[in-house]
Amino acid sequence: MRNGPETLSPRAIGRATLARQGLLAREELSVVQACERFGGFQAQEARPPALGLWNRAEGFQVEALRRAARRGTVARGLLMRGTLHLVSAKDSAWLRPTLEPVLAGALRARFPDLDVLPVLARARALLAAEPRTFSALRAALAEDFPGESPRALGYAARTGLPLAMVATVEDPWCWPPDSCFALTEAGGAPDPEELVRRHLAAFGPASAADVQAWSGLHVREAFDALAGELVELRDERGRTLWDLPRAPRPSEDAEAPPRLLPSWDSILLAHKDRSRILPDEHKGKLTTKNLRVPPVFLWDGMAAGVWGIETARRTATLTLRPWAKLPRGAQGPLEAEAEGVLAFAAPEAKLRGVAFA
C-alpha cells in the first residue's frame, strides 16, 4: 500500500539540484553536452557562462567554447525569461518557438502601440544582408520608422526574430561587449513538455511555479500532459514537487564542495522558491540595487556570500565576502577553490591572491 508522496528535507532537495548541476562533482562533458545537461547558462555578459562551464565540466578551457561557437554548435541569444542564454544550437531551435509567448508578451507589455510586423520585416532584411550590433540596427531602423522610438524598434527585433550573437576570435570570452547579432532559423516546433523535462533534469525536483519562474512560460498544461510520466514528491512544508523517475536524488549528507559561481548563475534563478540554495535570512542579498545578480560562493551546498576579482598592473586579487561568520575549517577549502577560479579568470596576471573581507 502506498503511503503517499515521499517527503524530502531541504538539504535533500538542495543536494538533488547540486548533483544535476555538476556541483557535487565536475563531469567530463563537451561544451554542447554541458549546455544541454545543465539547462543552458544565463549569459547577460560573456564571462559568466564560461565560469559556469568551468565550475561544472572537468578540465574546461575557454578554447573549447570558442571552437563550439565557431562551429555553430552553441548559440547565445534571447531565451528564458527574455534574457540572454548560452545553449546548444540544437536546443535553441526548439526553445525559441517554445518561448515565443514569453518574448511576444514582453514586447506587448513594453511597447503596446508599436506596429510590429513591418518593423520585423525590415529588421530581418537588414540582418540578412549582414550581422549588425544592436546600436547599428536601431539606427538603421530609425531611418525607416522615424516616428518610432529607436529603443522600441530594437526591442522588437530582439524579441521578434530568432537571433544569435556572433562570436569573435579576438575576445578572451568569445563575445565582445557590443557583439553583432545574426539571424538564425528556429526550425523546431514548440515543445513545452520537453521544456518541463529539461528543467527537472537540470534543476529538479521542482514545482510548476519553479519552472515558470525559470522560463517565464505558463506550464500548468504541460505538467498535466506529463502527469503519468513524473514522480510526485513533497517538501517539508507540504508543497508538491515533481521529478523525473530516474533523476539523481543523493543523500542529504552527500558532500558538497565549495564553488564560486558566476554572476546570474542559473541555479540561483531556476526556482520561485530558492531556499534549496539560498538561506531565507540572505534572500534579500541576491540582487543588487541595479538588478544585477552578483557572483556567489557556495559553502556546504548553500549560498554563503559574494566574491569578486580586482586587477591592477597585472596583479589580480579575488576577495570573498561572507554574509555571516563561516564555520571552522571553511577558509582553507574556499581559498583553494578561489585560487583555481583566479587562475582561470585572470590568466594574464603575474601575481594572484585570495582575500576574505
Per-residue pLDDT of the chain (357 residues; tens, 9 = 90+): 457 799 999 999 999 999 999 999 999 999 999 999 999 999 999 999 999 999 999 999 999 999 999 999 999 999 999 999 999 999 999 999 999 999 999 999 999 999 999 999 999 999 999 999 999 999 999 999 999 999 999 999 999 999 999 998 788 899 998 999 999 976 778 999 999 999 999 999 999 999 999 999 999 999 999 989 999 999 999 999 999 999 999 999 999 999 999 999 999 999 999 999 999 899 888 877 677 889 999 999 999 999 999 998 889 999 999 999 999 999 999 999 999 999 999 998 888 999 999
Please calculate the CA angle 163-164-165 and round it to the nearest 5 degrees.
130
296-321 exposure pattern, b = at least 16 Cβ within 10 A, e = fewer: bbbbebbbbbbbebeeeeeebbbebe
- Count CB-CB contacts under 10 A for residue 193: 17
Cα separation, 37 vs 42, in Å, equals 14
Q: Give the Cα separation of 101 and 79 in Å (integer).
A: 11
Specify the 3-state DSSP secondary structure of 268.
helix
The cell numbers describing 244, all together, are 523525473
CA–CA distance, 269 with 296 (Å, rounded to integer) = 12
Question: Do 67 and 36 meet the contact criterion of CB atoms below 8 Å apart?
Answer: no
| Number of residues assigned to the chain | 357
Closest CA to 107 of 68, 155, 54, 166: 155
| pTM reported for the whole predicted model | 0.94
Helix segments in the chain, DSSP class H: 10-20, 31-37, 47-56, 62-71, 89-98, 100-110, 116-129, 134-144, 150-160, 192-203, 208-215, 220-225, 331-345
Query: What is the per-residue burial (b if ≥16 Cβ within 10 Å, else e) of 261-290?
Result: bbbbbbbbbbbebbebbbeeebeeebeeee
For the chain, give the longest Cα–Cα distance.
71
67 SS3 class: helix
